[in-house]
Amino acid sequence: MMEKTRLGRTNLLVTRLGWGGIPIQRVSEEEGVAVIRALVEMGVDLLDTARGYTNSEHRIGLALQKTDKPVILSTKSAVRTGKIYKDVQTSLKEMEVKKISIYHLHAVNHFQDYEKVMGTGGAYQGLKRARDEGLIDYIGITSHNLNVLEKAVEDGYFDVIMACYSFLEPDAAKKVFPLAKARNIGILTMKPFSGGVIGEAGPALRFVLSTPGIVPIPGSESLEKARENWEIFTNGYSLTKKDREYIEILRKEMNQQFCRRCDYCQPCSEKISIQHILGLKTIVRRFGPVTQELDWFYSLVEKARDCSECGECLTRCPYELPIPKLIRENLAWYDQWLEENKKKRAQL
C-alpha cells in the first residue's frame, strides 16, 4: 500500500512518507546521492531540505539529474528579511531546477521572529516576490513553537506548515492540525524520532503515519534506513500492541528528561539557549565530528557553562524538567565526547 494525501490548498498529491535532508550531510556525496535516488525510485516524491543543511540541496540536485520521476521539492531559509529572495536563487542553483514547489520560512520559533518575517521588508515579502516571478509555487513556515504555528495558520498567509510531531511530542495533533485542516493548509511534520531519542523506527513511524492527512518527513542517510522506513510505510501502519507498550515505556522514561523545545522556560537570566543545550546530543549526532568546529555551537556550549543554577527556569517548565541538572549532565557528556575525539585523532 502506498497512500497519498493532498497537501492542503496546494492541491499537490503527495506520497504520505516524505523525506528530510538533514542526515544526508553526514555521509559521502556518493552515498548521499545514492540514498536520494533509491528513495525516489521507491516512490518518495517529497524531498525536504534547507539552505542551512550545508551540502544537502546540492546532493538532491545531483540525485535528480538521473531520474525522470516527478519530485516535489521543499526547502527553507532562516533569513528573516527580503534578502531571502537571494537564498531562493541559491537554492535553485544548488538543486539545478528552475522552480521549487514549497519554500519555507525556517524555524520561526519566537513571536519576535514571526513579526520580523511578516513585517515590511520581511522574509515573507521576499518569498512573495519569488512566487510572483515564478521561482517558487507555495510559501510555507516551519517552527518548533506551536503557538507561533497556530498564529501563522490563523493569519492564513501560508500554504503549508511544518511542525514537530512524534509520540514524545504529540501536541500538534490537537493544537495545530485540526485548525490547519479546517483552513485547507498542508501539513508536513518533522522529527518523528524526536531527534534520535526514539530508537525504534517501527513504533515511531506507525504513530505519526496513523494520524491522517499529514506528511512526515523522516530523514535517512543510508540505504538500509531508507528501505526500513519505506517498508514500515508500505506494510500498513496501525499501531501494534507491542508498539503501544514501547510508546508507554518510553514516554514514562523520557517524561522528565525530554525537552519539548517549547521555550516556556525563557528568558534565562544568563541568556542560555536551554532547549539547544538539552538537545545537545541530537546536534552532535546530526553533525558528527564537525560539531566542535561550528562557531554557533561553540558559543552555545560556552554560554551554557555560565548557568548560575538560579532556578528561575524551573518554575516555568511545564514538564518539570530539572533544567540546571540536565545542563550539567549534557556539558559533562560533551566534554567527554571532545576528549574521546581528541584521543582518536591522536591515534591516526
Rule CB under 6 A: which residues touch ligand SF4? 259-265, 268-270, 272, 274-275, 278, 307-313, 317, 319, 321, 323-324, 327
Q: Which lies closer to ligand SF4 via its Cβ, residue 184 or residue 282?
A: 282
* Cα gap 60→163, rounded to integer Å: 22
Q: Which is nearer to ligand SF4, 3 or 270 (CB)?
A: 270
CB 133, min distance to ligand SF4, A = 38
Burial class (CB in 10 A: 0-12, 13-18, 19+), 215: buried
CB atoms within 10 A of CB 307: 19
> Minimal distance in Å, beta carbon 50 to ligand SF4?
21
At how many degrees (to 10) do helices 280-287 and 323-347 cross?
30
Q: Considering only CA atoms, which of 101, 27, 28, 39 is closest in space to residue 67?
A: 39
Smaller CB distance to ligand SF4: residue 55 or 273?
Answer: 273
Contact 10, 160 (CB under 8 A): yes
- Minimum distance of ligand SF4 from residue 342's CB (angstroms): 28
* Least Å from the CB of residue 144 to ligand SF4: 9
Q: Which is nearer to ligand SF4, 288 or 322 (CB)?
A: 322
By residue count, the chain amounts to 348
Give me the least distance between CB of 146 and ligand SF4, in Å please.
11
CB of 255 to ligand SF4, least distance (A): 11
Whether 250 and 242 have beta carbons less than 8 Å apart is answered as: no
Least Å from the CB of residue 344 to ligand SF4: 31
Nearer to ligand SF4, 16 or 261 (CB): 261
Q: Which residue has the cell 525522470?
A: 68
Of 64 and 304, the one with the shorter C-beta distance to ligand SF4 is: 304
Q: Which helix (H) or strand (E) holds 205?
A: helix 201-209
In sequence order, the 6+-apart residues with CB closer than 8 A to the CB of 157 are 118, 124, 139
For residue 115, CA distances in Å to 3, 112, 122 come to 37, 5, 8
Q: For residues 283 and 317, which CB has a smaller minimum distance to ligand SF4 in the complex?
A: 317
For residue 47, give the C-alpha cell.
Answer: 524531498
Residues 6+ away with beta carbon under 8 Å from 110: 145, 148, 263
